[in-house]
Chain A
Amino acid sequence: MNPIIIDLAPGIHESLALYYAAKLGLDIRAIAVNGIFEENVIEASSLTAAICKDVGIEANIFPGAVQPIITGENASGRYPCAKGSDDGVMRSGVCAEIYAWDAVYDIVTQNPGCIDYICLGPLTNLAITLFRYPDIKQKISRVIFFGGALDWGNSGRTAEINMAADPHAADAVSKSGLDIVMIPWSVSRALGIDEKQVSRDYHSTRLIDDILQREKLPLEDAFVINHALAVLFAVDESPFTLRKHIIRIETKSSVCMGRTCANLMYSLKKDPPNMNVVRAVDSAALINLMMGILLHDLGNCR
């Protein structure tokens, strides 16, 4: 398994993703924080540090973008953020003086061809890294991002929130030539893992339990795995069915801004694919993977 950089905008599902990343023992070299859902990227970084401490991740955290590279849907306040868990104190581990893209470039350059870049939020930081350091394309092993939708969206009618929040960044990354794996929100939504399949032991860390209690999320919402899928994919690809597609990001439409355009049917065209897209997940295999981690963790807690 390659060492990884995680790029996120802190929230509930990102917390769960970090939890799995910690329990799976991923080699996390850095966490880049995207602040475009927040008013302050430093606060978002501090919150990320709090989450990392809670789940047991020791990695430097680098603040990144504060706004989309051109324009995007203002999703502030619409996102189920874990803000309330932070007490406003600057946490150790936040490298406030170094931008995420500079840190990412340094780390990738020191480990050429080895780093998997897992992006759980909008692709703003990665796009800026590509603009600032074009040679990084040859040095990143691959990009695994959670986002996009193949049927309908959760931000507007057709777009997923990470794409809608910064469609031009997503467009830039999609055209970069990087080895990209897209894990669409629509696939996560279709997984349909419910209470019967995953016990309440899911809430086995204080932070996650706190967040779920505070947000009063319906239990079934808590079991939409979403962003953690990207982390689980990095560890074990076997439950995931991939297909190569050409994905185009809509950046001009007034009704489809941020839509991840894909041909799911037959194609009579010969355009080369630009991404591997997760089209299905073997939920039983995935639950086995998740439950193994959870039960192990629970045993340790007890």
Chain B
Amino acid sequence: MKKIPIIIDCDPGHDDAIALVLALSDEKLDVKAITVVGGNQPVEKTGQNTLRILAILGKQVPVAFGTSTPLLVKPYHAQVHGESGLDGPKMPEPIQKQLDISAVELLAKTVEESNEPITLVPTGTLMNIAIFLLSYPHLKSKIKQISMMGGSAVSGCSGPGDVAEFNVWVDYHASHIVFHSGIPIIMHGYDVTNKAVIPYEHNEKFREHGKVGIFVADLLDFFGKPFRGHWPGTPIHDACAIAWLIAPEIFETKKVHVAIDLDGEWTYGATVVDFTGESGQSPNAEVVFDIDRDRFEEMLHSACKTYEEKERQL
């Protein structure tokens, strides 16, 4: 089977961690590199979290740390992931170290050396990706697509007016650069990711699938806390960007033009979706609106089982 070469740019983060669980278990994907960005917490923490996740999964992938600083505005970090960015599960010490190059350099090196176009999968803020695109414009043509978690077509819960999504909002200038890059974008925003939920009563089922299953259950237990009473389950935002690459048939999308609001008082950082074609601009993104939630949950179970089988073989 021909694998899809991807680079994951992430800021773990509980849902980033589950995205990594999914990505590194699936035989359809070839994870060439992981670059780490600040977002959920500063990159020093999200970087260490990435290395620790790889230790739990028993995987070794080239990892490089990037920036925590937005291009033009102050950094902002999320609260929902706890002080470490990955509170809840007991995390092991890393087995591998990060490379001695920056995330942007690893992105460029990996893309340049690849014989086929690479898919970028940002599941965090878009700072690394924007700097990469600005710094290596000649490599744009070697990017097949960007399957990203971020944005929101209808409503958000980040930014001053609650109409933005965290990843896009934190560095909305970087997001603007990415959305105007001309590279095909598959936008997994809140519209779909808030439907990609694991009902709270399903958490325990994951514990049946070995060490990684227990890890996922612990992630769900912690990350789900603030949503209880407000939402039907724990939204696994970031895993959608991976799941789409594995099983696009479980998603519903629409091609539209997406702009980033750069000057609103309440709306800055929002992904402004042109539903009606009013702007006259050609679609620059495929926005994902719906998901077969049951199939999504099955995929996560299946991923955990894959690790469990390998665990048994050892």
Chain B residues numbered 212-226 whose CB sits less than 8 Å from any CB in chain A: 226
Given A150-B155, A268-B79, the answer on whether A250 and B278 have CB atoms closer than 8 Å is no
- Interface majority SS (helix, strand, loop, mixed), chain A: loop
Query: Is the CB–CB distance between A152 and B157 below 8 Å?
Result: no
Query: Is the CB–CB distance between A157 and B265 below 8 Å?
Result: no
Given A151-B154, A263-B155, A267-B162, the answer on whether A252 and B275 have CB atoms closer than 8 Å is no
Of the listed residues B160, B262, B272, B279, the one surrounded by the most CB atoms of chain A closer than 10 A to its CB is B272
Stretch at the interface among A6-14, A111-119, A254-262: A254-262
Chain A residues numbered 243-302 whose CB sits less than 8 Å from any CB in chain B: 246, 248-256, 259, 261-269
- Give every chain A residue within 8 A of B266 (Cβ-Cβ): 248-250, 253, 259, 261
Query: Is the CB–CB distance between A263 and B157 below 8 Å?
Result: yes
- Give every chain B residue within 8 A of A259 (Cβ-Cβ): 163, 264, 266-267
Which residue of the partner chain, among A150, A261, A264, contacts B267 with CB atoms under 8 Å? A261
Closest B residue by C-beta to A271: B162
Smallest distance from the beta carbon of A211 to chain B beta carbons, Å?
25
A96 to B162, CA, bound (A): 43
Closest A residue by C-beta to B230: A266
- Give every chain B residue within 8 A of A252 (Cβ-Cβ): 263-265
Q: Does B44 have its Cβ within 8 Å of any Cβ on chain A?
A: no
Given A261-B267, A263-B156, the answer on whether A255 and B272 have CB atoms closer than 8 Å is yes
Task: Tell me the B residues contacting A by CB distance below 8 Å.
Answer: 79-80, 153-157, 160-163, 190, 194, 226-227, 230-231, 259, 261-268, 270, 272-276, 278-279
- Interface majority SS (helix, strand, loop, mixed), chain B: loop
Query: Is the CB–CB distance between A250 and B267 below 8 Å?
Result: yes
- Give every chain A residue within 8 A of B161 (Cβ-Cβ): 248, 250, 261
Closest B residue by C-beta to A264: B155
Query: Is the CB–CB distance between A251 and B265 below 8 Å?
Result: yes
Which residue of the partner chain, among B162, B263, B273, B274, contacts A269 with CB atoms under 8 Å? B162
- For A, the interface residue count at a CB cutoff of 8 angstroms equals 26
3 residue pairs, one from A and one from B, having the closest CB atoms: A253-B264, A261-B161, A263-B162
Query: Is the CB–CB distance between A268 and B264 below 8 Å?
Result: no
Which residue of the partner chain, among A151, A152, A255, A263, contacts B259 with CB atoms under 8 Å? A255
Q: Does A158 have its Cβ within 8 Å of any Cβ on chain B?
A: yes
Query: Is the CB–CB distance between B278 and A262 below 8 Å?
Result: no
Smallest distance from the beta carbon of A174 to chain B beta carbons, Å?
11
Query: Is the CB–CB distance between B157 and A151 below 8 Å?
Result: no
A259 to B163, CA, bound (A): 10
Task: Tell me the A residues contacting B by CB distance below 8 Å.
Answer: 150-152, 156-158, 246, 248-256, 259, 261-269
Query: Is the CB–CB distance between B157 and A267 below 8 Å?
Result: yes
A259 to B155, CA, bound (A): 11
Query: Is the CB–CB distance between B157 and A268 below 8 Å?
Result: yes
Which residue of the partner chain, among B79, B194, B276, contacts A265 with CB atoms under 8 Å? B194
- Give every chain A residue within 8 A of B163 (Cβ-Cβ): 256, 259, 261-263
A157 to B287, CA, bound (A): 15
A156 to B272, CA, bound (A): 10
Of the A-B pairs whose beta carbons lie under 8 Å apart in the complex, a sample of 8, sorted by A's number, is: A157-B272, A157-B279, A248-B266, A250-B161, A265-B157, A265-B190, A266-B231, A267-B230
Which residue of the partner chain, among A152, A156, A256, A262, contacts B264 with CB atoms under 8 Å? A256
Given A157-B273, A250-B266, A252-B265, 6 other A-B residues pairs in contact with their CB atoms under 8 A: A152-B276, A158-B267, A253-B264, A261-B267, A262-B162, A265-B190
- Give every chain A residue within 8 A of B153 (Cβ-Cβ): 151
A254 to B279, CA, bound (A): 12
A267 to B84, CA, bound (A): 22
A150 to B157, CA, bound (A): 13
Query: Is the CB–CB distance between B278 and A156 below 8 Å?
Result: yes
Smallest distance from the beta carbon of A156 to chain B beta carbons, Å?
7
Smallest distance from the beta carbon of B287 to chain A beta carbons, Å?
12
